[in-house]
């Protein structure tokens, strides 16, 4: 069982890297602002998954705390950007 874990972690890291490259292309070439926000959302999710896989591969617990922080900040950022696109301002007077 332990012999397949490094292979699975490396395969998962490669898949997340390909996903991050595709999202980066959409972030740079997106025709609309909504496409760019979704690409940024995909980037932070793939980054969080990459850090989780590194944590699984190394066995260190600090990676899981970092992934939780990335998820929290990414959700807040996506919500703020969606509100900005919807209303034109983030903080209402």
Task: Show me where the domains of the chain are located.
Answer: 34-93
Residue with tokens 């703020």: 80
Relative orientation angle of helices 62-87 and 33-58, to the nearest 10 degrees: 170
Model pLDDT for residues 1-54, shown as the tens digit of each residue: 578 989 999 999 999 999 999 999 999 998 988 899 999 999 999 999 999 999
CA distance 16 to 4: 18
pLDDT of residue 86: 84
pLDDT over 70 (residue 58)? yes
**Tokens 């034109």 found at:** 88
Stated pTM of the model: 0.84
């Amino acid at each position: 069982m332990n012999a397949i874990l490094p292979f699975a972690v490396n395969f998962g890291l490669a898949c997340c890297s390909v996903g991050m490259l595709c999202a980066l292309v959409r972030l740079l070439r997106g025709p609309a602002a909504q496409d760019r926000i979704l690409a940024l959302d995909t980037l932070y999710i793939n980054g969080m998954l990459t850090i989780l896989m590194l944590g699984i591969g190394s066995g260190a617990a600090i990676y899981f705390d970092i992934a939780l922080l990335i998820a929290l900040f990414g959700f807040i950022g996506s919500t703020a950007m969606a509100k900005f696109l919807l209303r034109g301002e983030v903080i209402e007077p």
